[in-house]
Chains A and B, each alone.
Chain A
Amino acid sequence: NAGVTQTPKFQVLKTGQSMTLQCAQDMNHNSMYWYRQDPGMGLRLIYYSASEGTTDKGEVPNGYNVSRLNKREFSLRLESAAPSQTSVYFCASSREVGQFFGPGTRLTVL
Chain B
Amino acid sequence: GENVEQHPSTLSVQEGDSAVIKCTYSDSASNYFPWYKQELGKGPQLIIDIRSNVGEKKDQRIAVTLNKTAKHFSLHITETQPEDSAVYFCAASLKTSGSRLTFGEGTQLTVNP
Do A41 and B44 touch across chains, with their CB atoms under 8 A apart? no
A40 to B89, CA, bound (A): 12
Do B106 and A42 touch across chains, with their CB atoms under 8 A apart? yes
Stretch touching chain B among A13-21, A60-68, A77-85, A97-105: A97-105
Do A98 and B103 touch across chains, with their CB atoms under 8 A apart? no
- In this complex, how many residues of chain B approach chain A with their Cβ under 8 Å: the count is 23
Flag whether A75 is at the interface (Cβ < 8 A). no
A97 to B34, CA, bound (A): 9
Complex contacts, A103 vs chain B, CB 8 Å:
42-43
Flag whether B99 is at the interface (Cβ < 8 A). yes
Given A31-B98, A58-B100, A96-B99: A40 and B105 interface contact (C-beta under 8 Å): yes
Complex contacts, A102 vs chain B, CB 8 Å:
43
Contact with B along A19-60 (1 / 0, CB 8 A): 000000000000101000000111111001010000000110
Looking at the assembled complex, report how far the CB atom of A38 sits from the nearest CB atom of chain B, in whole angstroms: 10
Do A42 and B103 touch across chains, with their CB atoms under 8 A apart? yes
A97 to B30, CA, bound (A): 13
A90 to B89, CA, bound (A): 14
Flag whether B80 is at the interface (Cβ < 8 A). no
Complex contacts, A31 vs chain B, CB 8 Å:
98-99
Complex contacts, B36 vs chain A, CB 8 Å:
101
Do B100 and A90 touch across chains, with their CB atoms under 8 A apart? no
Looking at the assembled complex, report how far the CB atom of A22 sits from the nearest CB atom of chain B, in whole angstroms: 15
Q: Which residues of B from 4 to 47 have beta carbons under 8 Å from A?
A: 6, 9, 32, 34, 36, 42-46
Given A31-B98, A45-B100, A103-B42: A97 and B105 interface contact (C-beta under 8 Å): no
Complex contacts, B104 vs chain A, CB 8 Å:
42
A96 to B103, CA, bound (A): 17
Which A residues have a C-beta under 8 Å from some C-beta of B?
Answer: 4, 31, 33, 40-45, 48, 50, 58-59, 90, 92, 94, 96-104
5 contacts between A and B (CB under 8 A): A42-B104, A43-B44, A45-B102, A101-B44, A104-B42
